[in-house]
């Protein structure tokens, strides 16, 4: 069933407080609510709904507004639910007419809505943020023609992976699943496995690596016994085999993998899609998550360095091999053809079809004064990445699966853009008040 355009608000109730009468309509959030094209978002997001039986979904403006507020102000789902009830500006932004004393949604509503929309639909929020920036004068069309593209790592919410930790965790999860399904094991090894995992860490810290390897071998042996015991118990039961199959496959990979081996490995049992990406930095030689591409103007827009594009890239691809699809996707999103692309030396050997539009840092040939000034501004993408990661929930991704990686990257970029829009609208308001004050002083009394 399609979401209703407007929820029943009780317009004839004289005893309720109208939000437009108790808030400052010149507040930046109220002005942003009037600037966003909510009809465009309803058309994009409403396409995934189909008429049928069941409870009608929540309004699209409410859910889209909550997604914007969550990543603009770096809030968790639980904190967002609490602040929505307390903050009349949040309610006005989400399309409410009267002040609500109870929340019409819960935190699980946000999760289900994100999963239903997916990364492709949620790109409409990023597209709308750029449209609002263009309408309010914060971003011009010329700023979209010359861009900087760079990649970063979006870390996943997992513990630092070690062989002992992964093997111990595999034993715990297999034994826990066996208890829930009523599978009786000969021995669980939970107590001795915990002790062995602790000793591996202690021996490694003391540089007693021979003893650490012995304790790790003890753990792997116990994991193999648990796997074989479960296979014997569920032999012939197809339902139990289907239930245990994904976890057993992961446990077998964990048991046989080694930290020296090449190729894909399992770094987390609850997030097997996580990849190990080498950074080459002393403070963080490796990060565990997925690669994300970020694009921003190489110019100086009036409203700030907006994020023009954000996309999660799985499989730890080479940066140069991601340039062509990223630029094509950005042109589709903005509707403006890119004239120049500035990248760092990690993009050498790129696959962009028009190589004369790509300028790599340190390049000397064909560099004019204008292009040289633009190349000096290539590093402007670094603070943009820093703000998106530190202030808009890309520093640690809590969303599940590969779909969650893509959704979080897009929403983080959209939240960053809307935070710049709020700052821009506050700046415009200050300019107007300053001019009014100057005019009042010129009028003779």
How many H-runs (helices) and E-runs (strands) does the chain carry?
15, 6
Distance CA 72, CA 60 (A): 18
Quote the pLDDT of residue 390: 94
The proportion of the chain whose per-residue pLDDT surpasses 70, expressed as a percent, equals: 93
pLDDT at 6 over 70: no
Please say whether the beta carbons of 298 and 147 come within 8 A.
yes
Confidence of residue 436 (pLDDT cuts 50, 70, 90): low
Q: State mean pLDDT over 331-345.
A: 93
Distance CA 275, CA 314 (A): 8
Query: Which of 11-15, 185-189, 226-230, 292-296 comes out lowest in average pLDDT?
Result: 11-15
pLDDT at 48 over 90: no
The residues facing 156 across adjacent strands are 397
Q: Is residue 253 classed exposed, middle or buried when 0-12, 13-18 and 19+ CB atoms within 10 A define those classes? A: middle
The proportion of the chain whose per-residue pLDDT surpasses 90, expressed as a percent, equals: 75
Confidence of residue 3 (pLDDT cuts 50, 70, 90): low
pLDDT at 411 over 80: yes
Quote the pLDDT of residue 5: 47
């Amino acid at each position: 069933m399609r979401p209703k355009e407007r929820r029943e608000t009780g317009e004839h109730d004289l005893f309720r407080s109208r939000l437009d009468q108790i808030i400052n309509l010149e507040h930046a959030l109220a002005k942003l609510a009037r600037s966003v094209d909510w009809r465009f978002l309803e058309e994009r997001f409403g396409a995934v709904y189909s008429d049928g039986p069941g409870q009608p979904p929540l309004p699209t403006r409410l859910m889209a507004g909550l997604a914007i507020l969550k990543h603009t102000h770096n809030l968790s789902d639980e904190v967002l639910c609490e602040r929505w009830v307390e903050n009349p500006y949040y309610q006005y932004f989400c399309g409410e007419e009267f002040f609500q004393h109870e929340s019409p949604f819960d935190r699980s509503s946000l999760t289900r809505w994100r999963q239903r929309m997916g990364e492709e639909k949620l790109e409409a929020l990023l597209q709308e943020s750029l449209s609002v920036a263009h309408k309010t004068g914060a971003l011009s069309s010329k700023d979209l023609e010359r861009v900087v593209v760079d990649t970063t790592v979006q870390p996943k919410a997992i513990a630092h992976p070690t062989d002992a930790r992964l093997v111990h965790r595999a034993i715990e999860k297999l034994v826990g699943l066996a208890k829930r399904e009523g599978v009786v094991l000969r021995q669980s090894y939970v107590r001795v496995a915990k002790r062995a995992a602790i000793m591996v860490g202690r021996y490694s810290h003391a540089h007693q690596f021979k003893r650490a390897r012995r304790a790790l071998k003890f753990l792997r042996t116990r994991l193999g016994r648990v796997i074989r015991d479960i296979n014997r118990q569920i032999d012939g039961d197809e339902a139990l085999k289907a239930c245990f199959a994904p976890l057993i496959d992961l446990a077998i990979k964990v048991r046989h993998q080694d930290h020296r081996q090449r190729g894909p490995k399992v770094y987390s049992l609850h997030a097997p899609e996580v990849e190990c990406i080498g950074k080459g930095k002393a403070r963080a030689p490796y990060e565990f998550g997925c690669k994300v591409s970020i694009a921003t103007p190489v110019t100086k827009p009036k409203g700030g360095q907006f994020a023009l594009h954000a996309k999660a890239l799985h499989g730890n691809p080479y940066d140069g091999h991601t340039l062509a699809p990223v630029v094509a996707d950005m042109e589709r999103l903005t509707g403006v053809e890119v004239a120049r692309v500035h990248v760092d030396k990690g993009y050498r050997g790129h696959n962009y079809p028009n190589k004369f539009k790509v300028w790599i840092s340190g390049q000397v040939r064909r560099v004019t004064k204008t292009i040289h000034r633009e190349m000096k501004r290539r590093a402007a993408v670094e603070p943009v990445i820093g703000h998106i990661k530190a202030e808009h929930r890309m520093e640690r991704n809590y969303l599940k699966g590969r779909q969650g990686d893509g959704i979080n990257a897009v929403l983080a970029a959209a939240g960053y853009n809307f935070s710049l829009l709020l700052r821009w609208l506050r700046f415009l308001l200050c300019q107007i008040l300053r001019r009014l004050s100057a005019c009042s002083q010129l009028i003779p009394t």
